[in-house]
Amino acid sequence: MHRHPRRHYKSQNAIQPPIQVLSPAGDDEPLTITMLGAGQEVGRSCCVIEHRGKKIVCDAGLHPAHPGLGSLPFIDEVDWSTVDAILVTHFHVDHAAALPYIMEKTNFKDGNGKVYMTHATKAIYGLTMMDTVRINDQNPDVSGKLYDEADVQSSWQSTIAVDYHQDIVISGGLRFTPYHAGHVLGASMFMIEIAGLKILYTGDYSREEDRHLVVAEIPPIKPDVMICESTFGVHTLPDRKEKEEQFTTLVANIVRRGGRCLMPIPSFGNGQELALLLDEFWSEHPELQNIPVYFASGLFQRGMRVYKTYVHTMNQNIRSRFARRDNPFDFKFVKWLKDPKKLNEHKGPCVVMASAQFMSFGLSRELLEDWAADSKNGVIVTGYSIEGTMARTLLSEPDHIESLKGGNIPRRLTVKEISFGAHVDYAQNSKFIQEIGAQHIVLVHGEASQMGRLRAALRDTYATRGQEINIHTPRNCEPLVLTFRQERVVKAIGSLAADRPVHGTPLKGLLVSKDFSYTLLDPKDLKDFTGLSTSTLLQKQSIPIGVDWSVIRWHLEGMYGEVEEGFDEEGKASFTIMNAVKVVQISEMVVEIQWSSNSSNDMIADSALAVLLGIDGSPATVKLTSHPHQHSHHDHSNSHKDDTTNRNSDENELIKGNEEFDKIKMFLEAHFGNVSGPNLSLAEGEEDELLLMTINIDEVIAKLDLISMRVESDSSDLKKRVETVLEMALTTLQPLSRRFIGSGVNLNLNEITITA
């Protein structure tokens, strides 16, 4: 990564151990928020959000009060090649001006990350960054030049423009949606979702509708974390109408006394708002119409074309005027001052809106130094003033100001502040935070003292309502770690969702995991909903064997309890084991195991293979082949269909049942002693006593129905004891083939893939 020495300012923001705020413990990975700028300060906004291997950076601004590399965020704390996306909320210098440096001078371009902003922001971003380069080129200090026009052009071309409310999927489990933020044209707040965790990053936002912008909207989705600006802390600003009256009165008073009124403004943002306001005020006051009102910025003039292009993103007032072919940006009295030198020829009163906003450089600083000594003149600071800038210095009304040419200049002009900065005050911010309803609030973009008072006020507000809120104020380079207990939700789709399942009933299907989300569906629906196809593997294993078919059956029944005798599709004799594996007699010397491959069937096939491989060497096999045995040999002439077998099948089943009943009775007698029954034959009228066992303990009776295997007794204790012993007996006596049923034997060769 491209690195530079960063000695200045780092001592105030040394890397701190992470703040860990842990919600109830869970296995989920933590969410880490690290401020590389705007942590307990205003300026160089840059917020890094990390969760589940995803990394998002929100904003990348410069600090207007610091020169050169010192104005950058603490970019050396991040490997920029691992960043998935950079989201830029708006075009202001303290939110976007570091972007060309990061995109062109670091290893960001070595990764796969993309940069996103709204269409209007991208249009104005290119203009403002070019203007920043132009101003820096006027600075003789080469170290202060971070990038050139080629870097700006390259970064602009690589930026992806998005629409409001557009759902942008960046990668697996990572998406975001922009929402209107007010503040300036194109400004947005981002609802970011990472693996189901939702973070709202507000950037700078406004909840007060002005002459051309909409207010910040409340997203329809409740976030888990809200990263929120705190610029004005607990201050309460006057309402808009009152501010406008104060502003126009101040301007009128300055020019009526023969003075010149300077308003330092950004080229975009509240400059357009003030131009609308002054043009309207001048049209209502004919006595002022001989006094010129200028905006002294070529960038302002070029930007008006952008404003006219994106009227559809403005409020209803502007849209309706455009619909009537009344363009509010065709100013009647506010004019573009193409050549600022003409101000030297104009000796009378005038109003000039000039950049830069903070008067640290540019035409606004030149006019300030030229006009500062005349008490008839005045400066109106119309936006938020960042600590360390000339605008903030002026608000303390010093006797002298420092000249960029060297030396001091006496300050006699008046200084007033009326903020049209389009930030929320305490009342608006507090209400918005409550309406959003996030579990965690992270305050950024505010001075430490203001941020602390805002946190205390918010806690008091929630405490009076009996609610708790988690409020965090991280410093720069101090990671904030939050852990959440997240429920994993599985969505059933396809045929599984055709009928609403009853609560508590098992739902069986194929679980598909993608992008941190889970879907349950029937395997038959897999291709329709995922595009994936399925295949079934038929496994076959041939085994040479030198014993009779009946001996094979004897060994298999000894292992599994029961096997199902039958024939395969070619008429060859076969045994089916546990509804999973088929053993086919290929010849007198070879048998073949066949099964549809899956985890359970594979285990059964392995055990059957072990049994068959051990038959030839088994002592039991030697005994069975040396002496007659009780099993009848299988006759390939369909002797299993002999009438004698059919006539005696019921009797054999009864004998088999008697053996099982005797074993159950043996278990019961071992535990309870006195057990009678079962009754296998009864006189007419006594059928209710058929197949019942009676347990008698000290005249306390329990009866076991061998048909339903249910226990009845007046004593609940005895009933529970008998049920426990019965369950143990059935578990012990039940053959393996009954306790486990395989997933089926699908040997249709036309529908499956065969693997030898």
**Catalytic residue ranges:** 423
Contact 387, 65 (CB under 8 A): yes
* Largest distance between two CA atoms of the chain: 133
Query: Distance between CA atoms of 586 and 592, rounded to whole angstroms?
Result: 6
Query: Distance between CA atoms of 720 and 561, rounded to whole angstroms?
Result: 29
Contact 136, 51 (CB under 8 A): no
Query: Distance between CA atoms of 46 and 41, rounded to whole angstroms?
Result: 11
In DSSP terms, 382 is beta-bridged to none
Query: Distance between CA atoms of 351 and 263, rounded to whole angstroms?
Result: 8
In DSSP terms, 566 is beta-bridged to 574
Distances (CA, A) of 314 to 8, 88, 127, 179, 308: 41, 19, 20, 13, 10
- The DSSP-derived string for 703-726 is EEETTTTEEEES-HHHHHHHHHHH
Closest-CA residue to 89 (of 66, 112, 56): 56
Contact 197, 165 (CB under 8 A): no
- The DSSP-derived string for 22-59 is E-S--SSPPEEEEEEE-SSSSSS-EEEEEETTEEEEE-
Measured in whole angstroms, the distance separating CA 753 from the mean position of its chain's CA atoms is: 40
Query: Distance between CA atoms of 421 and 310, rounded to whole angstroms?
Result: 21
**43: exposed, middle or buried (Cβ count in 10 Å: 0-12, 13-18, 19+):** buried
Q: Reading across the β-sheet that carries 537-544, which strands appear in turn? A: 564-567, 573-577, 581-585, 590-596, 537-544, 753-755
The runs of H, that is alpha helices, within 166-297 are: 240-256, 270-284
Q: How many other CB atoms are found less than 10 A from the CB of residue 727?
A: 11
Contact 484, 28 (CB under 8 A): yes
- Computed on alpha carbons and rounded to an integer, the radius of gyration of the chain in Å comes to 42
Distances (CA, A) of 168 to 116, 156, 546, 701, 755: 10, 19, 68, 72, 44
Q: How many other CB atoms are found less than 10 A from the CB of residue 640?
A: 14
Whose tokens are 């010129």? That residue is 292
Contact 479, 28 (CB under 8 A): no
